[in-house]
């Protein structure tokens, strides 16, 4: 049953994203979509790839990325290429968050330049959320959390004890620069984390709270 619910959720989210992109593209040449990685978005990516859109005018980037090679199994760029940039959607412009530099600290400036050149404000930012309340790579145990929550820079290199690889994340400020925000989550555990987040306001404890003070459409299924 939950499988079917999650498929329907993915389809409904894809329809909402396609509608938002079409609405913005009726007024501007390019529209930007910011997606998250992880396991939840896969059926959504596949549903969106099947939508009828002027894909050459669509820009896609990520909320965050592991600092790994683009063909690594845990690369979000690879996930997007394999599940979203397929068929007609392959014509979209995809902007990854990694460079050939050894570390995200070294690559951050080049990535920021790329990101700053996109069609902001984004049409939509689709966030995921982990069991620890992180979203994008805004982790509660990251040394750079305060910086990522406060900076006006578009990206921040992140080191997180709970995560095996260094990461790069769009800053909270940059993620806020969108016309629409969605939180895409599934399962009872994440429902409980969201309930906790809604019941308090310490963003450092549950970083998803950084997005609870603006309209946030929650797409949830069991």
The residue ranges that bind ligand 6PG (CB under 6 A) are 36-40, 64, 76, 128-130, 134-137
Least Å from the CB of residue 53 to ligand 6PG:
23
User: In the complex, which residue's CB is closest to ligand 6PG?
Assistant: 128
Three-state secondary structure of the chain: CHHHHHHHHHHHHHHHHHHHHHHHHCCCCCEEEEECCCCCCHHHHHHHHCCCCCHHHEEEEECEEECCCCCCCCCHHHHHHHHCCCHHHHHCEEECCCCCCCCHHHHHHHHHHHHHCCCCCECEEEECCCCCCCECCECCCCCCHHHHHHCCCCEEEECCCCCCCCEEEECHHHHHCECCEEEEEECHHHHHHHHHHHCCCCCCCCHHHHHCCCCCEEEEEC
Least Å from the CB of residue 30 to ligand 6PG:
24
Least Å from the CB of residue 163 to ligand 6PG:
9
Q: Are the CB atoms for 20 and 123 separated by under 8 Å?
A: yes
Least Å from the CB of residue 103 to ligand 6PG:
18
Which of 117, 131 has the CB closer to ligand 6PG?
Answer: 131
Which of 53, 60 has the CB closer to ligand 6PG?
Answer: 60
Which of 134, 180 has the CB closer to ligand 6PG?
Answer: 134
With left for phi above 0 and alpha for psi between -120 and 50, is residue 211 left, alpha or beta? alpha
Which of 96, 128 has the CB closer to ligand 6PG?
Answer: 128
Which of 129, 145 has the CB closer to ligand 6PG?
Answer: 129
Which of 6, 180 has the CB closer to ligand 6PG?
Answer: 6
Least Å from the CB of residue 25 to ligand 6PG:
26
The closest alpha carbon to 35, from 49, 23, 24, 22, belongs to 49
């Amino acid at each position: 049953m939950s499988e079917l619910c999650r498929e329907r959720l993915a389809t409904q989210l894809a329809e909402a994203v396609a509608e938002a992109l079409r609405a913005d593209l009726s007024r501007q040449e390019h529209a930007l979509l910011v997606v998250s990685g992880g396991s939840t978005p896969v059926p959504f990516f596949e549903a969106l790839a099947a939508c009828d859109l002027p894909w050459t005018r669509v820009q896609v980037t990520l909320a965050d990325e592991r600092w790994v090679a683009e063909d690594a199994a845990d690369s979000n760029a690879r996930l997007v290429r394999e599940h979203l940039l397929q068929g007609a959607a392959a014509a979209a412009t995809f902007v990854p968050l990694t460079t050939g530099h050894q570390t995200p600290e070294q690559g951050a400036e080049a990535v920021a330049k790329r990101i700053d050149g996109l069609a902001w404000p984004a049409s939509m930012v689709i966030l995921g959320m982990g069991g620890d309340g992180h979203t994008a790579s805004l982790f509660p145990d990251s040394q750079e959390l305060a910086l990522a929550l406060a900076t006006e820079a578009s990206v921040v290199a992140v080191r997180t004890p709970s995560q095996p690889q260094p990461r790069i994340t769009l800053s909270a400020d940059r993620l806020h620069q969108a016309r629409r925000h969605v939180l895409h989550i599934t399962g009872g555990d994440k429902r409980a984390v969201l309930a906790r987040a809604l019941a308090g306001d310490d963003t450092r404890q549950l970083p998803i709270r950084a997005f609870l003070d603006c309209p946030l459409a929650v797409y949830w299924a069991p």
